[in-house]
């Protein structure tokens, strides 16, 4: 918690020094950035404790690597068996690649044989949203990070007990934070 506050203070100080003290605000939503091209403000929102944030795609495009942007914002899919986190066996938390929102614990990860990291349960029901997806003419359920609406993958009902679910998640949609 202290480290997070220090990061926020450093980012705020940097924003004041580099960009001057701006008084612009978005009166409609305090969880969206005031200017579409304000990367500093977007970074501050990501580092904040706000439950939901709204950052335009053109800003995400500047913040994220091209392949990560394609998955998180354009609902892309990485090639099976290519993700760095597929065979990660360390203990820790998987967070979304954009917002750094915790979504899965390593204890719920399993080898589904599908080529993507698979989990049988999210950290909490509030960490993700499930949205019906019939984009390929079949009914599927998309898994989205609840904080920044990041596309993570899909969930299927062929997973192990205790839930019977398989959250099939793009490795590039996640980052891993190892337990200390």
Active site residues: 168
CA dihedral 88, 91, 92, 95 (to 10 degrees): 20
Q: Which helix (H) or strand (E) holds 18?
A: helix 2-19
DSSP 34: S
Nearest CA to 97 among 145, 43, 31?
A: 145
User: Are the C-beta atoms of 94 and 174 separated by less than 8 Å?
Assistant: yes
Q: How many Cβ atoms sit within 10 Å of the Cβ of residue 42? A: 22
Cα–Cα dist 16/8, whole Å: 12
Strand partners, 154: 142, 168
Cα–Cα dist 154/165, whole Å: 10
Q: How many Cβ atoms sit within 10 Å of the Cβ of residue 26? A: 13
């Amino acid at each position: 918690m202290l480290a997070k506050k220090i990061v926020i203070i450093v980012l705020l100080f940097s924003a004041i020094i580099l960009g001057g003290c701006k008084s612009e605000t978005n009166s409609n939503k305090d969880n969206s950035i005031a200017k579409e091209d304000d990367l500093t403000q977007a970074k501050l929102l990501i580092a904040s404790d706000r439950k939901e944030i709204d950052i335009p795609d053109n800003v995400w495009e500047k913040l994220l690597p091209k392949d990560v942007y394609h998955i998180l914002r354009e609902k892309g899919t990485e090639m099976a068996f290519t993700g760095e986190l597929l065979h990660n066996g360390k203990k820790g938390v998987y967070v979304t690649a954009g917002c750094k929102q915790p979504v899965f614990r390593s204890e719920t990860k399993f080898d589904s044989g599908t080529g993507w990291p698979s989990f049988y349960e999210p950290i909490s029901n509030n960490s993700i949203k499930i949205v019906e997806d019939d984009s390929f003419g079949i009914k599927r359920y998309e898994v989205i990070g609840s904080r920044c609406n990041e596309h993570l993958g899909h969930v299927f009902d062929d997973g192990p007990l205790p839930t019977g679910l398989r959250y099939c998640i793009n490795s590039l949609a996640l980052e891993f934070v190892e337990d200390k």
